[in-house]
Amino acid sequence: MTAIGLALCLPLGGGDGEPIGVRGPSLQSAPYSVWAVGLCSGLFLAWLAGLDWRNLPERMGQWVRLQRRRLGWMLVGGFCAGILLLL
């Protein structure tokens, strides 16, 4: 939770807005958003590593069967919205 909070707070601090020198960016002058993206991608990869990939197709099939009516209504609504927006 602390890492997520830090990732959300870092872009708000921003940089000083000065142009980068001729030698190119250094690690100290990297914008905070780069650090936040790296932190979030690391958290995302750690979350992916914790998934049980062996029974994922079975769980997805159960979820689709459970949400069958809702998915059907979303399909009909998307079709109607598409017609409305394209005409």
pLDDT tens track for 33-68? 777 788 888 889 998 898 888 999 999 999 999 999
- pLDDT, position 14: 52
- pLDDT, position 38: 82
- pLDDT, position 31: 64
Percent of the chain with pLDDT over 90: 38
69 and 31 in a common domain? no
Long-range contacts, 10-15 (Cβ 8 Å, 24+): 10/35, 10/36, 10/39, 11/36
6 and 45 in a common domain? yes
* Spatial distance between the Cα atoms of 5 and 75, rounded to a whole number of angstroms: 36
Which residue matches tokens 């998307």?
Answer: 78
Residue 35: closest CA among 83, 3, 67: 3
- pLDDT, position 63: 92
15 and 44 in a common domain? yes
Question: Letter for the amino acid at 83?
Answer: I
Domain count, the chain: 2
Which residue matches tokens 């997520």?
Answer: 4
Q: Domain range holding 36?
A: 2-49
